[in-house]
Structure 1
Amino acid sequence: MMNLPTIREPLIIGLVITLFVFLPIYGFLNLNEDQFVYEVQTFDVFEDGEFEILQYTQVTPSGVLDLGVANEAYVGFDIANFKTLSGDNSAVVVEVKNPTFREVVSYQKDESGMLVELNKSGTNWGKTDLFASPNPLIFLGDDTGVEKIYLSILSNEPIVFEVSVVSEDGFHAMYYKKALIVNVYIGIMFALFLYNFILYFLIKDRTYFYYCFYILFIALAQTSLMGYSYYYFLGMNVKLYEVSIIGFSAISGVAGISFMRLFLKTKYYTPILDKFLQLNIVVYLAAFVFRLLGSLSISYTLTDISGLMVILLFGFTATKIARIGYRPAAYFIIGWLFFFIGLLIFILQSNGFINVTMVANFPMLLGTAMEAILLSLALADKINVLKKEKEEEQMERLRMLKENEKLILDQNESLEAKVRARTEELENTLVNLQNTQTQLVNQEKMASLGQLTAGIAHEINNPINFVSSNISPLKRDIKDLLEVVQSYRDHGAAQFSEATKKELNELEEDIELDYVLQEIDQLLRGMEDGAKRTVEIVKGLRLFSRVDEQDVKKVDIHDGINSTLVLLNSSMSGKIKIIKEYGEIPMVECLAGKINQVFMNIITNAIHALQDHMPSNPDPEIKIITSNHYDYISIEIKDNGPGMPESVKQRIFEPFFTTKAVGKGTGLGLSIVYTIIENHGGTLEVETLEGQGTSFIITLPIYQNTIQNE
């Protein structure tokens, strides 16, 4: 049996809310109390819009005419009995109770039998009266004498409706009461939505998240069924409104089931029923999808099946869990019971079995509102339960902590002695490792410096040889010029005779004095070029090493790359093609010497990889690409060498890992490179595939927040 104390509290709360809140509202808003409403029960169904060929006459004791899924229908009905039964000869209003009709055109026949249009309404026409009534209305004056009305109906939804006739004064009274009911309902549901939505952000419990959406969409579903969402929320969008009838119901069903699964812990308490609840979600979603695809009949059928499954599964699952003694299930049962009662009254009234003299959807509104209120209280109660459980859990943890505290204190004494001994060992080991690391780093630096010195010696040797080779011809030309001068001296200007002058001219022609002068100019120019090249190499060395700059400064990255390439020119032997694709990048704050060391190591590795595979790669090349990315720059150094397998790629940044032969590499180059880039706040990535080359991608921030250390 279910625990009575568990269910007593939510039951009392539900009854109190019903007695002191909703029943007074119902008594005040009893719509038909003072008004005579004539419900049409006999309808003539015609074949076409001429209203000549009568298909059949249908008498509906409940007043509901169901023509199923059809795009159009033509019906007629008598309203003469209204004035006879009511004794009221004032103006009347005919209400066609279905807000989903796209077009409802009403006619009467004149004395000659011709159709005369009375009114147009429906969602295609938007707001056609001052009241924005969801249902199509036909206003008839007190002197029209209309006894029979014909309707031409166009609809994308099932054609199911009923017709009521009431005096115009009675309609106004009913309309305002009905609008008040809907507004009160929307206010209550919106307040509950906001309350639980705020709790969700405070508690971070997904149960509140699903429950918020359930409250929101069950309210939207009810307003869509009554037609008010068309005016209130959907901006009078016809297609969106038609989809909302199934859509809001499906979403509220999915959210409600998801909420129930979390709230009642069905996966833990009733795992088999939890599977059926998941299936119910699928059915709801399928109904929504079929509605979007235009399969109305299937979507409405699946929605009805889903609703039936919800009623059965919710009641059975909640009852089973409540029997276990889980308190939140009691609140859920009472809330579900109110919803079920409201749904049952709505169905009985819609089918004419009972008449509670109020708006047809009021039982559903009451049921959903009561369910939302009780479940909100249940969630609030859940907070208290969780708080109590947490306090008990904390007390138990405190007790265990006190028991463990003594044990820990005893163990700490023995552990501290061991830790001290181990710490001394680790400190000694750390010192040794630091010394070893320093030695290895220095060795790597010395290796780089040796390579740098060899490159400089080679590059300086070329311009020196170039100058030396020009010294001999320069001496010879100068000697020839001196002979001419000497000859002029020997003879003297005063003693020049014609013969002497002729002799001197012949001498100048023999030595080609003009050519000698040109040659001297060319030789001097070559010497000047050699000297400039020597200066460029020294400048490149200075840019690369940056020995005079130990702090972070703004540096031109392109200068650093170019100086590195100058120093490595001898290593490439003119066989490797260098492609530069420099972008417009700003000056970058960095340690220039460290960054140049990065370029040196990566480009050197690329050169070695290309030189080792020259026979299989006749066109080796290295491409260097720079680009600006607003707050950082990227440098990509890419070669078309042999690439690396995945196993090597995963380890290239590990200290001491190398693929070179013994004695040719320490395995620290790329490890140092990675540390330098990391200390600069940048990233270093490698992209490689066997046989497709290797690409190192460096990113550096343009500005450094803190000064980097050596």
Structure 2
Amino acid sequence: MTKDRAPSPLLTVPMEGVDESTWLDVIQKMDEVYTRLIDDEVELERKNSELEQSQQFIFSVLSAMSDVLIVCDERGLIEQTNAALCELVGRGEDVLRGSSLADLLADAASVQAARAAMDRSEAPRGGQAIELNLLDRQGQPVPVDANCTPRIGANGKRLGTVWVGRPMAELKRAYHEMRTAHEALKRTQQQLLHSEKMASLGQLVAGVAHELNNPISFVLGNVHALRKYCDRLQTYMAAVHAHASESELANLRQKLRIEHLLADLPSLIEGTLEGAQRTADIVHGLKRFSAMDPEERQPVNLVEVIERAIHWVQKGRSSPVPVRWVPLQACTVLGSAGQLQQVMMNLLQNAFDALSAVPDPVVWVAMDCNGDPDQPTVRVTVRDNGPGIPPEHLLRIFDPFFTTKPVGKGTGLGLSISYGIVEQHGGRLSARNAEGGGAEFVLELPRA
């Protein structure tokens, strides 16, 4: 059992001139000071706990960063790094701290660029983008897209530099893969476009054969006639070279009808040339339609494109559909003649297919080449008197592989490809049901 401590002489022996109330005030003040000290100690412990949590939060953020982080002083010595940099260079933070930033750079150009950024007196607060080459753990250069930001102290003076960089090897690889995929997609799109074009051409084979048969038959008949005339001329010339008498030559000339032959030769030759030219024009049109289209855009007379499309689609049908079309003067747009002809042929072919069960089918093609003077636009409409487009199909009509035709009658790519072609030409393709019945497609293109 402990003994009671003896009271302090100061408390038991009153000092002269100091009463008891004064002592009570002193004791109360001491208690207040002691209580404040305890509160301050509790607050300090709380602040220390918050500071530790903040440090842990900052450390977790730095560790989670995929970008590399380097904090340097004004001399370029490393003060702080993160786990991403340590992983990249293969060195720990303790080894890196205090070393020079130049030791991490792979070439003199990177050292010079980094030094110039750190020595810049008026560095932007938003940072300066610099491409540097860091040495990885194998000693190989790694391109890094770095941002150099000045570190400012409480007094407003520059204390150093903060470097945040992202290794671009993965970005370059991803960009290369994306570019390769994009090129493959463009090639596939071109092949798909060409395949659909050849499918449209396949539907026109019968009409094309009939179209070619007329001039070829005409040329063939003229050539046979020219051959007979050639034989007669050879017989007559042989008699001339044999020095036949004038009476014999006159009889022979009458027998071989040389005068008629000579009078008929110009028309035969002209007709043959016309048939050959017609055949050449047909072949040239087929080649232009079936060929892969170049990327560059050229002035195209849209009136000629529409007339060719009407002609070819009509020739490809066993029973032609009347087309109401009044051609205008030349109306020029900038684009690819083959691709625009493919669009028109697809719109006409769809209109003809929609009229297969209509008693009196008609297709109207109209063109407005005036447009707004500020925004000159060519407007072409293709309308039929068929059953129209069901409302539930209007929103999907340009979707790839969407078709209402029976299996084997269509791929569902024609309108989708046409829509893409028109978009590439800076235009717009839309579909709606006409007020008087039937479907109506509207093609709008910027005028050249």
Q: TM-score, normalised by structure 1?
A: 0.33
What's the TM-score once normalised by structure 2's chain length?
0.50
